Amino acid sequence: MDRRTLTWIIVGLMGGLFLVGRALLTDRGMGKVYVRAVEINSDDPDPDHRWTRHENALPRDYAAAVAANPEQTEYRFSLARTVGTWVAAFFTLFILSFLYKDNSLYKIAESVVVGVSAAYWMVVGFWTTIIPNLLGKLFPVWINSWAMPGLRADAEWVYIFPLILGVMLLMRLSPKGGWISRWPLAFIIGTTAGIRLIGYLHADFLSQIRNTIVTLWATDMAGSFQLWDSLKSLILVIGVLSALVYFFFSIEHKGIVGKTAKLGIWFLMVTFGAAFGYTVMGRIALLAIRLEFLLDDWLWLIDPALRRIGM
Amino acid sequence: MKRAVPLTITALGGFVLIVAYFIPAAQGWGEIAAIWFDILAAVAFVLGGGNLLKIHLKKVSDRKGGWGYSGITLAAFLITLVVGLAKVGVNPNPHFPEVALSGGYREIGSPFWWLYEYAFKPLTATMFAMLAFYIASAAFRAFRAKNVEAILLLGTAFIILLGRTFAGVYLTAWLPDSLSGLKIENLTIHIMSVLNTAGNRAIMIGIALGIASTSLRVLLGIDRSYLGTGKQ
């Protein structure tokens, strides 16, 4: 065993001991989740139509409720959500372990995310589109009876076509039936082109041009000239036009065109720099959220929202 | 026939949506075409899931390198799929208590919600968060202030990054009110609202023109690359 492996084993063991000690040997513990029980349909005479929904509750509310009445049942400890918090914490650490090097823990987390996300989007597509928009239109009475009560009762047989196209699309999974999926694929390509053509021309092309046609002589309500606002409008118009000149490749970028294109590149570089800065900030914000989850929700080492005050 | 039918379907699907935008009487067709598109997009998720199953089952059955990870992927996939499709642990809709599956598939507290909340969300968020390190390290290695363009890019990124932190605000807090426009937080706002907007507008106009021309090429059958080479 080399020195590096030994070091990491020792660090891991110390971390494990810290977790066990903090979770089991301290009064306060860590990583626990509490819930509040809410009765649903409590007025319904049929007991089968009544059930309890569990909403997340703050630890301080649980502590206050127990202090007021130790026998209360409204607030309670949730084992499933506590296990969930621990699982989420370990998954977060598994992914972060990649910063050291590629390892089996990272690969396990990676495999889980691939499987869960593929199934998640399948389930979302099934319950939000296939059931209401396809099966609900073709067999409304049947869907009404078990999934979507209150659905319109008359069938719309025109939806047999997307059903057929859908089945043809799935033929792509068959080793020799790949060509059958060309028709639904053609429909997807065609409708995407149609939606995008109109959407982009309307929302991006026309509206961006419309927003760029601004007054270069800005005045306030009293009619007096506003230098800074006028300058901003001028820079904006020059920036858009010069960057567009750079994108215009039908003329050689020489002379005045070349100089304008050069100015356009400068505007584009500022845009890319801003985009880069924002992307990095966005990722750092996400990282901060994950660290906050580890330190606040899991380890209970910090409490910025005062969720455990009084415990 | 092999190409004529898909080309006709492409043109019909696209032009129906375009016509529906301009002619109010045809709006219904456009809505139907859009719903059909949504249905096929949902079926494409099923296709994706099926493909994932096919690839990983083959890897496990062939005992290829890393087949254990494929087993984990399959287990995660099947568990999520079953609890999501069967709405395991989901209570009925309070208005229709007699219909067992009338509740929301993502009901708080259900196993599917649990998988989303404690597996999908932390894993994807941490993966995206990790990119912060890689973007920063790539930038450190690639960015060199060797000409005006590179200096502009670097300088803007630096100001934007600094302008969104307390340290940046603190650094220029000493500037008098007459020079408040040079305070880093205000500089950030000016860059974003003027220079960045100008560049972004040109890019968006360019993208829109590119998409419009590509879409027209596809709809008119000039671009047929999506049909493949015809050899398969």
This complex has an ipTM of: 0.88
DSSP, res A47: G
pLDDT at res. B44 = 95
Instruction: Give the helix, strand, coil percentages of chain A, each rounded to 5.
Output: 70, 5, 25
Q: Is B170 on the interface with A (CB under 8 A)?
A: no
From the candidates B58, B80, B91, which should be mutated to test the interface with A, based on the most A CB atoms within 10 A? B80
Nearest CA in chain A to B75: A115
List the 162-221 stretch of A: residues with Cβ below 8 A of B: 162-163, 165-166, 169-170, 172-173, 178-179, 182-198, 200-201, 204-205, 208-209, 211-212
What DSSP designation does B90 have?
P
Question: Cα(first)–Cα(last) distance of chain B, in Å?
Answer: 15
d(CA B202, CA A163): 42
The answer to whether residue B54 neighbours chain A at the CB level (below 8 Å) is yes
B221–A contact, CB cutoff 8 A:
no
CA-CA distance, B132 to B149, in Å (whole number)? 24
Q: Could you give the residue ranges of the DSSP H alpha helices within chain B? A: 4-22, 27-61, 67-85, 111-115, 121-142, 148-163, 166-171, 184-190, 196-219
Q: Note whether A59 and A34 are within 8 A (CB).
A: yes
Rg over alpha carbons for chain B, rounded to the nearest Å, is: 27
**Residue A31: pLDDT above 70?**
yes
> Would an 8 Å CB–CB cutoff place A310 in contact with chain B?
no
Among candidates A88, A111, A232 on the partner chain, residue whose Cβ is nearest the Cβ of B122: A88
Name the residue of chain B whose CA is nearest to A98's CA.
Answer: B130
Return the DSSP state at A225.
B
Q: Which of B44, B72, B94 sits opposite A169 (nearest CB)?
A: B44
Please state, for a pLDDT cut of 70, what percent of chain B lies above it.
Answer: 98
Q: Is the pLDDT of residue A273 over 60?
A: yes
Q: Within 13 Å of residue B9, how many CA atoms lie on the same side as its CB?
A: 22
Binary contact (B157, A280; C-beta < 8 A): yes
Q: Is B110 on the interface with A (CB under 8 A)?
A: no
Q: Is the pLDDT of residue A47 over 90?
A: no
| Coil, helix or strand at residue A77 | strand
Q: Which residue has the tokens 């025109």?
A: A158
- Distances in Å between the Cα of B203 and the Cα atoms of A201, A244, A267, B198 are 13, 8, 11, 9
User: Which sign does the torsion angle of CA B72, B103, A74, B117 carry?
Assistant: positive
What is the distance between the alpha carbons of residues B200 and B187, in angstroms, rounded to a whole number? 18
Query: pLDDT exceeding 70 applies to what percent of chain A?
Result: 100
What does the angle CA A197 – CA A122 – CA B214 come to, to the nearest 5 degrees? 15
Say whether residue A234 is in contact with chain B using an 8 A CB cutoff.
no
The tokens of A42 are what?
Answer: 């409590």
* pTM of this structure: 0.88
What rounded mean pLDDT belongs to chain A?
A: 92
A103 touches chain B (CB under 8 A): no
- Tell me, yes or no, if A85 comes closer than 8 A to chain B by beta carbon: yes
Rounded distance between C-alpha atoms, residue B223 and residue B231, angstroms = 17
Contact B131 A192 (CB under 8 A): no
Residue closest to A281 by CA, chosen among B156, B89, B31: B156
The secondary structure of residue A44, as a DSSP letter, is: -
* Contact between chains at A268 and B202 (C-beta distance less than 8 A): yes
Report the 10 Å Cβ neighbour count for A275.
18
Rounded CA-CA distance A294/A177 in Å is 49
Q: For residues A259-270, b (16+ Cβ closer than 10 Å) or e, as one string?
A: ebbebbbbbbbb
d(CA B99, CA A132): 16
The arrangement of strands across the sheet holding A75-77 comes to A51-57, A34-40, A75-77
Token look-up 């301009």 returns B22
Q: Does A126 touch chain B (CB under 8 A)?
A: yes
Residue ranges in chain B modelled with pLDDT below 70: 1, 229-232
Indicate the SS3 state at residue B231: coil
Contact B14 A193 (CB under 8 A): yes
Task: For A160-213, write each residue's pLDDT tens digit.
Answer: 999 999 999 999 998 887 788 889 999 999 999 999 999 999 988 999 999 999
pLDDT in tens, A100-158: 889 999 999 999 999 999 999 999 999 999 999 999 999 999 999 999 888 777 899 99
Best mutation target among B31, B164, B215, B232 (most A Cβ atoms within 10 Å) is: B215
- Cα(A92)–Cα(A89) distance, integer angstroms: 5
In the three-class reduction of DSSP (H, G, I as helix; E, B as strand; rest coil), residue A39 is classed as strand
As a whole number of angstroms, the distance between CA B52 and CA B60 comes to 12
Q: Give the pLDDT of residue B230.
A: 56
Chain B within 8 Å of A69 (Cβ-Cβ)?
no
Please judge whether B6 and A211 are an interchain contact, meaning their C-beta atoms are less than 8 angstroms apart: no
Report which secondary-structure segment, H or E, holds A143: helix A140-146
Tell me what pLDDT residue B231 has. 54
Q: Output the CA–CA distances (angstroms, integers) from residue B54 to A13, A23, A123, B57, B178, in the order listed.
A: 39, 42, 18, 5, 67
Q: What does the pLDDT read at residue A223?
A: 86
- In this complex, do A113 and B127 lie within 8 Å of one another by their Cβ atoms? yes
